[in-house]
Structure 1
Amino acid sequence: MSPSALGELLSVFEENFRSRGEIGASVSVWWRGEEVLSAAEGWCEKERTRAWTAGTLVPVYSATKGPAAATLLLALDAKGLGPETLVREVWPAFPVAEATFAHLLSHQCGLAALDRKAAVWDHAEVVAAIEAQAPAWRPGEGHGYHPRTFGTMVDEPVRRLTGKPLGAVWRETIAEPLGLEFWIGLPESEWPRVARLYPGKASAEEMQDGFYKEFNTEGSLPRRAFGSPTGLRSVQEMNDPKAWSAGLPAMGGVGTASALAKFYQAAIGAIESPLNERVRQALGVVRVSGDDRVLMQPTAFSCGCQLDPLDGSGKKVRELYGPSVHGFGHPGAGGSHALGDPDSGVSFAYVMNQMELSVLPGRKSVEMVRALFS
């Protein structure tokens, strides 16, 4: 790991505070089993009553999906099952008969939007709505990001396999053995450590283009997907301990940058961990790639993580996960970002409380990733 690359990354991190509106943030880089960079700066709230430290916890929205997927894969593996197992072998009423867990985890089941209204807080109600849903497309007919339903779609099989909610299984099987300060269902004892989130803003021009134009169109698939199940639509709601403690595997994770970066060290096999080779391969190998029906741009997914999509010549369309075609991870709404690169042995995570309005990582984190691999 180049000291100059780490220095350049730190320069970007500091520039985010000087010119990009950063309030509080942490960044962590691990390399071949060691944390080689941990930086934390700023404040947990605009009033500057609590200094931001490396131990500050913050909600990371969909950056939760990587840890949640690993939990399901490990629970399947413990029963001698895996990505090619039909979902109905575990969840008989799942509405897509031919769907495997690989299809489910790579957003191919067409269940991103629900016709039946269900509250995000009521697991049984969301399960019933999913079971009643006719898929908008089927495996083999493309893919579209499942921003919210993904959580129940991974939680329900874990409950059936283990008798426990996914967040509890995550803590017992992965987080506690690795010493990760990351929770999917935050205990009350940790609430005082959580930073306050602040929503991002977009220009009028941005709101009229691409994804956001569709997102703001009543009845569109992106709008319906990001509203199914209902609830937790505002950043203010995510600042409520109710959201931190609910254990929502699609968007409810709370933790530190160091914990997320260390998780991806485990995911790329750079440290000993409960994640065996079968689970690691599932997390890191592309299962589907192409135009995303929900995000309205090219995406690529493994079993639970994102990779950079490739063009017709095999060149990356973008580099959110570094230059290697094997880099993978998952961002969170507003800007949090985490990745692992098995080729270099590097993992990275960035968390913050001043959000950007973007469904993919924004300039604050992308420039750090670019510096890291320079």
Structure 2
Amino acid sequence: MTTTTTASTSGTQGLCRADFEPVRHELERMLAAGEELGASICVTVEGEPVVDIWGGYTDAGRTSAWERDTLVNVFSITKTMTAVSALLLVDRGLLDLDQKVAHYWPEFAANGKAGIEVRHLLAHTSGVSGWERPIELADIYDHESAAARLAGQAPWWEPGTASGYHAINYGHLIGEVIRRVDGRTLGRFFAEELAGPLGADFHIGTDPEHFDRIAPIVPPPPAEFDMSALDPDSVMIKTLTSPLLDYTRTSEAGWRQAEIGAVNGHGNARSIARLQSIVSNSGVLDGRNWLSSKTIDAIFRQQADGLDLALMAPLRFGIGYGLPHPQSAPAVPGGRVCWWTGVGGSFVVNDLDRRVTFAYAMNKMAPGIIGSERADAYLRATFGVIA
């Protein structure tokens, strides 16, 4: 197969192997129609990029082009980076998925949480899917105090019995376990153990030197339902509003520099695919054994399958990732596949059967929490080639 690197008249640039041209065409179509503002897509096969394309604009005024090294807040794609960080410690024998969280973080045992295991945190089944009120967004920028608050509160449902998406606090929970085991913060551990060695331009806690490369987020249209009409004490409302994620604040320095391992990772499709190729290649990348087959197998230990209490959508969770589900992720192929998405539409899929990673990042958010029509179109174009 041939590989082309071109700048097209529709505004896309980058590398695209000839057989994957349907992916480029789909991105060009979305850009031309105004569905996308700016975006990047990367597909790796056996760890090597066969698609690495980008196009559009970084700003709503369409004055600044999306460049090769443009970064964007990819929201919950960050959770997959946090998960791989924890799996590194599992692989080294320093962290046990079936051990009690309190074994590593004694304060976490308070208020009925002594039995919660590490796997419950990674699979969103711990019962601790948010903070007790009152809490403001800026309160979670201080990791230690925010983690201490989580340690002191009671679970909102019986741990291990159902998933309740840990929307904003996932990185505080797992990051604190990593800090107790390793001594480094999540952002530093990730940078020194993964992003740095792999040359991946992805950041959990982004230094100001990178700010001029960040494409500001364009928030989605307002929600079609009135959240104030729902039960304020439901798991869903408490999770999604404690604190409320204010998209207008994601361009502030405080947000960007904080280490929020659930939702404030900054990267692009290339860096996402580079890092996640560790998983799609069964733990081996660049000739290095990053994760053993046993640790990779653990990802596919199903922990929950049913209506998620926080998102009120049917989901299947393994360890650190979602597993294929025809309703919540219709464009994700079946098989030995794990995936996740960021609010607004960013997406990553690791297909271990085909040794493929798909990654997509953009700045114009789509409505909804799980995926988008745009992401589905790119996924179908990609896996239509591979199938």
Q: CA deviation at 1:5?
A: 5.8
Amino acid at match of 1:364: R
Q: Does 1:336 align with 2:352?
A: no
Q: CA deviation at 1:20?
A: 4.5
TM-score by length of 1: 0.89
TM-score by length of 2: 0.87
Pick from 67, 81, 88: which aligns with 2:95? Answer: 81
For residues 55 and 321 of structure 1, the distance between their equivalents in structure 2, rounded to whole angstroms, comes to 28
Secondary structure of 1:61's counterpart equals coil
Q: CA deviation at 1:46?
A: 2.0
Task: Show the counterpart of 1:268.
Answer: 280
Render the CA deviation track for 1:291-322: whole Å, top value 9, x for unaligned. Answer: 1111111101122111223xxxxxx3354563
Pick from 198, 202, 224: which aligns with 2:238? Answer: 224
Pick from 226, 232, 246: which aligns with 2:258? Answer: 246
Gaps of at least 5 residues in structure 2 are: 3-16
For residues 327 and 92 of structure 2, the distance between their equivalents in structure 1, rounded to whole angstroms, comes to 36
Secondary structure of 1:176's counterpart equals helix
Render the CA deviation track for 1:178-204: whole Å, top value 9, x for unaligned. Answer: 1111010112221111111100115xx
Secondary structure of 2:140's counterpart equals coil
Structure 1 contact 26–38 (Cα < 8 Å) conserved: yes
Structure 1 contact 215–222 (Cα < 8 Å) conserved: no
Tell which has more relative contact order, 1 or 2 (C-alpha 8 A, sep 6+). Answer: 1
Pick from 99, 105, 128: which aligns with 1:91? Answer: 105
Q: CA deviation at 1:280?
A: 2.4
**Counterparts in 2 of 1:218 and 1:174: CA distance versus 1, 3 Å:** same
Amino acid at match of 1:327: V
Render the CA deviation track for 1:131-160: whole Å, top value 9, x for unaligned. Answer: 222112223321111101212101111111
Secondary structure of 1:104's counterpart equals helix
Task: Show the counterpart of 2:198.
Answer: 178
Render the CA deviation track for 1:17-75: whole Å, top value 9, x for unaligned. Answer: 12253111110010112100111101111233321022110000111000111112213
Q: Does 1:130 align with 2:150?
A: yes
Pick from 177, 184, 193: which aligns with 1:157? Answer: 177
Task: Show the counterpart of 1:115.
Answer: 132
Structure 1 contact 320–361 (Cα < 8 Å) conserved: no
Task: Show the counterpart of 1:365.
Answer: 375
Pick from 62, 80, 88: which aligns with 2:76? Answer: 62
Structure 1 contact 339–348 (Cα < 8 Å) conserved: yes
Render the CA deviation track for 1:250-295: whole Å, top value 9, x for unaligned. Answer: 1010011111012221112262453333432333443221111111
Q: CA deviation at 1:80?
A: 3.6
Secondary structure of 1:295's counterpart equals coil
Aligned length: 360
Amino acid at match of 2:324: D
For residues 199 and 193 of structure 2, the distance between their equivalents in structure 1, rounded to whole angstroms, comes to 11
Q: CA deviation at 1:115?
A: 2.1
Q: Does 1:41 align with 2:29?
A: no
Q: Does 1:303 align with 2:319?
A: yes
Identity rate of aligned residues, in percent?
29
Structure 1 contact 214–222 (Cα < 8 Å) conserved: no
Q: CA deviation at 1:79?
A: 4.4
Amino acid at match of 1:21: E
Structure 2 contact 345–366 (Cα < 8 Å) conserved: yes
Pick from 169, 188, 196: which aligns with 1:168? Answer: 188
Gaps of at least 5 residues in structure 1 are: 310-315
More off after superposition, 124-133 vs 59-68:
124-133
Task: Show the counterpart of 1:189.
Answer: 209
For residues 204 and 291 of structure 2, the distance between their equivalents in structure 1, rounded to whole angstroms, comes to 18
Pick from 117, 124, 127: which aligns with 1:100? Answer: 117
Q: Does 1:292 align with 2:308?
A: yes
More off after superposition, 130-139 vs 53-62:
130-139
Please tell me the root mean square deviation across aligned C-alpha atoms, in Å. 2.2
Q: CA deviation at 1:123?
A: 1.9
Structure 1 contact 16–22 (Cα < 8 Å) conserved: yes
